[in-house]
Structures are given as structure tokens and as C-alpha cells.
């Protein structure tokens, strides 16, 4: 059994991301995985680091999310690709939860040391661009996420899945079946 924390990073409810997430959950539950879900649209706080890391305000929602990240074996993010990256609110949340002393620390020599070493991340995105466009341009953004965020936090196992041409794809049943199987394969 895998403990999975899902963050739905789409600010709107009833999105393709949410339907994909629902199908993933069905598959993952059939494999007896334990799942917790965070809906970004339900969170009330502003996640910007207006003072950088100099003055981080205590925030119960952030503390709860960090506890859930500590609990989980795998973090699964669902979000749309807007302007070649994740929505700003999703990025702000990552910046706010992956803080020094929780996700990483600095050695005396200034080297970054990740603290989330045993975690895995799966990123599932939607985009209006066709998949070939995503593969052509998104790989650079994905490399930034891998090296700049997740590996800096000690996470080495990261997988990406994109479902492209959202607007032009009328029948998404193949997508829902694929994501159901991805969830079912979680162990």
C-alpha cells in the first residue's frame, strides 16, 4: 500500500484535471492505496512569499499540507499548463510549502541538501496545445521543475504525464482509462 497525497492545482472546480484526478483515484483505491486530497480551490490563504524567506508567517493550512507531505510516499500534482507552465497559484503553493528546514537545508558551506529524500512525485497536466508541442517545449520547463524544485528537495523519482489538445478532444474516455490504469499501477 502506498500513501498518496494528491494536490489538485487547478483553481477551478469541474475541470478536465479534476476528472482525470477522479479516475486516477478510482484506480489507486482499487490497488488498496491510501489517499488524501488537497483542492487548491478550497484553500483560503494567500501563498505568496511577500517577504521571501526572511519573514515567513505561521499558517495552519501550510502546516497541514507539510504534515501530509511528511505522511505520504508519493505526491501527485494535477494542474493545467498555462503559458507553458503551471498556474501561478500552484507555483505559489509549492514555494510556500517547500520551505527551508522542511524540504531542504543549507550546509555550512552553503550547499543545498534535500530533506524529502524518500518521496516520489507524479505530475499530471492538461494543455490545449497538442502533445507534440508539449514535448517540444515543455521538456525545458519540466527540467526546471526537476532540477530547480524537486531534486533540490531530495526527490529523485519524478514522472510527467500530459494530456494535450483538451479543447479539440471530444472523447476523452481513452485519457480517463489511461489515468485510471496509472492509478491502479501505484504500489
Q: Which of 39, 139, 41 is nearest to 84 (CA)?
A: 139
pLDDT at 46 over 80: no
Cα angle 170, 172, 175; round to 5: 150
Enclosing H/E stretch for 137: helix 131-144
Q: Does the pLDDT at position 48 exceed 90?
A: no
- Which sequence spans correspond to the domains of the chain? 3-184
At 151-181, the pLDDT tens digits run: 999 999 999 999 998 888 889 999 999 999 9
Looking at every residue in the chain, the average pLDDT score rounds to: 91
Average pLDDT of the residues in 5-20: 92
- Give yes or no for residue 36 having a pLDDT over 80: yes
**Residues 166, 16 contacting (CB under 8 angstroms):** yes
Distance CA 139, CA 63 (A): 32
Residue 131 predicted with pLDDT over 80: no
Supply the pLDDT for residue 155. 97
- Into which CATH architecture does domain 3-184 fall? 3-Layer(aba) Sandwich (3.40)
Cα gap 66→87, rounded to integer Å: 20
Amino acid at each position: 500500500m502506498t500513501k498518496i497525497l494528491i494536490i489538485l492545482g487547478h483553481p477551478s472546480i469541474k475541470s478536465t484535471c479534476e476528472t482525470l484526478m477522479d479516475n486516477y483515484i478510482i484506480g489507486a483505491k482499487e490497488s488498496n492505496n491510501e489517499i488524501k486530497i488537497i483542492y487548491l480551490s478550497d484553500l483560503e490563504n494567500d501563498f505568496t512569499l511577500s517577504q521571501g524567506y526572511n519573514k515567513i508567517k505561521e499558517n495552519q493550512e501550510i502546516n497541514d499540507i507539510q504534515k501530509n507531505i511528511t505522511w505520504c510516499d508519493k505526491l501527485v500534482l494535477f494542474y493545467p499548463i498555462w503559458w507553458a507552465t503551471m498556474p501561478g497559484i500552484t507555483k505559489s503553493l509549492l514555494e510556500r510549502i517547500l520551505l527551508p528546514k522542511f524540504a531542504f537545508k543549507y550546509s555550512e558551506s552553503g550547499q543545498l541538501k534535500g530533506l524529502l529524500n524518500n518521496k516520489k512525485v507524479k505530475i499530471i497536466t492538461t494543455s490545449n496545445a497538442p502533445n507534440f508541442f508539449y514535448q517540444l517545449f515543455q521538456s525545458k520547463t519540466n527540467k526546471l521543475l526537476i532540477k530547480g524544485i524537486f531534486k533540490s528537495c531530495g526527490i529523485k523519482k519524478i514522472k510527467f504525464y500530459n494530456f494535450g489538445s483538451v479543447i479539440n478532444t471530444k472523447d476523452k474516455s481513452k485519457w480517463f482509462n489511461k489515468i485510471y490504469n496509472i492509478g491502479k499501477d501505484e504500489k
